[in-house]
A and B are shown apart, each in its own frame.
Chain A
């Protein structure tokens, strides 16, 4: 399988920055939604955050189109970040 240098670098950047931001916003969102005590929710989210992040990185290097990566990560960050903001405002 061959990948151009540009394609590989875009994927690497997406894996290191936007995917990391998405992991954080999703983590915050789930912690806020967690029904039990905050310490417990936080512990669960932190424990499995890296598992999710790893899976996300693998998906980024697997999915065929960079546009898909941009849409998924962009939407993900907006929805989870916005959702967290709204929950917190409540």
Chain B
């Protein structure tokens, strides 16, 4: 059967949307929070004076001193020196090797206060933090990481196809953009879907294609391997050219590493310390110990590949290293940098957040429109098909329930006992338990009531956070505003604004439901004895 391109793409767009929109929505919500991951980390550890500052020298010296005291037996230290968007702490990562008495190797991720040189582990509450929330958008949770990586790859591919097919099916893309039909026939949702999709179209294209670029080595290794005749050595050579690794073999001869102050001075003779994004100290305490300084630049940020290599014991400069590069690799690097937005300052970060939010709206409105369109076709007195009812329940739990659950993740950070075992993991459990509750609620309540109640619940979850802060912390919205701690004030105000929006929507749903139901109550009762049958008030109200 021959069909036009627009028709076949409409079919593809609808089915991709129907099958994958819930997971894509989850990816978008958690990914969008990732643009403020560092800020969320700071917000979730209110005991640390994040708003205070430290110099580059303090960061450098405190991290090296800490590592020299606590991690001399580690094969390598990684020190993240970048002041993350005004954050105070420096991150030190090292692995402790397994010992002869059977103690297993451990990974240590230490946050150091550069002013005191101490780890904040004893001061700050244990939290999953913004990093966990952000990682969920590609690693999901509770399932095997490799599996989730492949799954997310396939979804990203279909999302890209969904965006492109969405462009194809709109013959009059600009006319559609300025159209809004609020006649209650469900078209209003399509118009909002068009509006949010078109207004954030460049972002949606960029985010989905750059997401695929992250997957290149996972999904297409055969191209690289096959073009080299499946020769492992040739593949290794090419890999070394593209991603050069500085390998340092331990000689077994002990040597004294330079103290932090001297090392700082030696490095500064060759490179501006402020430009160093991170340091790798390889084989510390050995005769062959080396310091590798990664240099950040304005375009590629943390993806910059220039490295300066020094002798860790003498401070002598050895060499600079950079990757082999070509226009395609530069394009990839720029796309990846655009995806992560690490280069963005606070204003641009908010723009990213807005574009991400529009992406969430795109998924949500598309999912709602699918159900509305089909519900309107159900004749009075005719039962709504079970499959449609299940789709709508899932829509409710995903669109609203997920937002309530994320708010509960923040609340859990404030409410769980500070000395609780696996506290960070429990914050995540609370989020998913809340979400599960939302699913159960959505499946057992009539859909129009479930929409209203979950929206109200989401508002309540959002409002709880600033209230709990006022009760339990000295860093709450009022004190933060008074002291000019804008990060804490912004997060609290954001949650208050979200609560206001949710309450407003819930109130509107309730009022409209009452207005529509009251005059026709008798008729409606005669027509539909069961609450799930036909004429749902929300069909009329939300379409208006």
Chain A residue, CB-CB nearest to B158: A57
Residues of A within 8 A of B11 (CB): 1, 3, 61
Partner-binding segment picked from B212-220, B365-373, B455-463: B212-220
Tell me the minimal C-beta distance from B389 to chain A in angstroms: 21
Chain B residue, CB-CB nearest to A33: B227
User: Which of B5, B213, B328 meets A50, CB within 8 Å?
Assistant: B213
Q: Do residues B216 and A49 form an inter-chain contact, with CB atoms below 8 A?
A: yes
CA distance A3 to B1 in the complex (A): 10
B 359-404 contacts with A by CB, 8 A: none
- Judged by a CB distance under 8 angstroms, whether B161 is at the interface is yes
User: Which of A3, A8, A16, A54 meets B160, CB within 8 Å?
Assistant: A54
- Judged by a CB distance under 8 angstroms, whether B228 is at the interface is yes
A46 with B223, Cβ < 8 A, contacts A39-B238, A39-B324 known: yes
Q: Do residues B331 and A24 form an inter-chain contact, with CB atoms below 8 A?
A: no
Tell me the minimal C-beta distance from B333 to chain A in angstroms: 11
CA distance A45 to B228 in the complex (A): 14
Q: Do residues A64 and B3 form an inter-chain contact, with CB atoms below 8 A?
A: yes
Chain A residue, CB-CB nearest to B10: A1
- Judged by a CB distance under 8 angstroms, whether B222 is at the interface is yes
Chain A residue, CB-CB nearest to B326: A40
Q: Do residues A47 and B3 form an inter-chain contact, with CB atoms below 8 A?
A: no
A40 with B226, Cβ < 8 A, contacts A50-B213, A62-B9, A64-B2 known: no
Q: Do residues A49 and B223 form an inter-chain contact, with CB atoms below 8 A?
A: yes
B 199-219 contacts with A by CB, 8 A: 209, 212-213, 215-216, 219
- Judged by a CB distance under 8 angstroms, whether B136 is at the interface is no
- Judged by a CB distance under 8 angstroms, whether B224 is at the interface is yes
Residues of B within 8 A of A64 (CB): 1-3
- Judged by a CB distance under 8 angstroms, whether A14 is at the interface is no
Interface size for chain A: under 10, 10 to 19, 20 to 34, or 35 or more residues? 20 to 34
User: Which of B12, B219, B220 meets A61, CB within 8 Å?
Assistant: B12
Q: Do residues A57 and B223 form an inter-chain contact, with CB atoms below 8 A?
A: no
A 20-52 contacts with B by CB, 8 A: 23-25, 27-28, 31-32, 38-47, 49-51
Tell me the minimal C-beta distance from A13 to chain B in angstroms: 13
A 70-90 contacts with B by CB, 8 A: 84, 88
Q: Do residues A43 and B3 form an inter-chain contact, with CB atoms below 8 A?
A: no
Q: Do residues A27 and B328 form an inter-chain contact, with CB atoms below 8 A?
A: no
CA distance A58 to B164 in the complex (A): 9
Residues of B within 8 A of A41 (CB): 227
Chain B residue, CB-CB nearest to A40: B326
Q: Do residues A24 and B222 form an inter-chain contact, with CB atoms below 8 A?
A: yes
Chain B residue, CB-CB nearest to A28: B226
Residues of B within 8 A of A31 (CB): 223, 227
Residues of B within 8 A of A43 (CB): 242, 326, 328-329, 332
User: Which of A16, A28, A58, A88 meets B223, CB within 8 Å?
Assistant: A28
Q: Do residues B161 and A57 form an inter-chain contact, with CB atoms below 8 A?
A: yes
B 165-207 contacts with A by CB, 8 A: 165
Residues of A within 8 A of B324 (CB): 39
- Judged by a CB distance under 8 angstroms, whether B515 is at the interface is no
- Additional A-B contact list (18), CB under 8 Å, known A42-B224, A46-B224, A49-B223: A1-B7, A24-B222, A27-B222, A28-B223, A28-B226, A31-B227, A41-B227, A42-B238, A43-B329, A46-B223, A47-B216, A47-B332, A49-B216, A58-B12, A58-B161, A62-B5, A62-B12, A64-B1
| A-B pairs with lowest CB-CB distance, top 6 | A27-B223, A31-B227, A43-B328, A28-B226, A62-B8, A50-B212
| A residues lining the B interface (CB < 8 Å) | 1, 3, 8, 16, 23-25, 27-28, 31-32, 38-47, 49-51, 53-54, 57-58, 61-62, 64, 84, 88
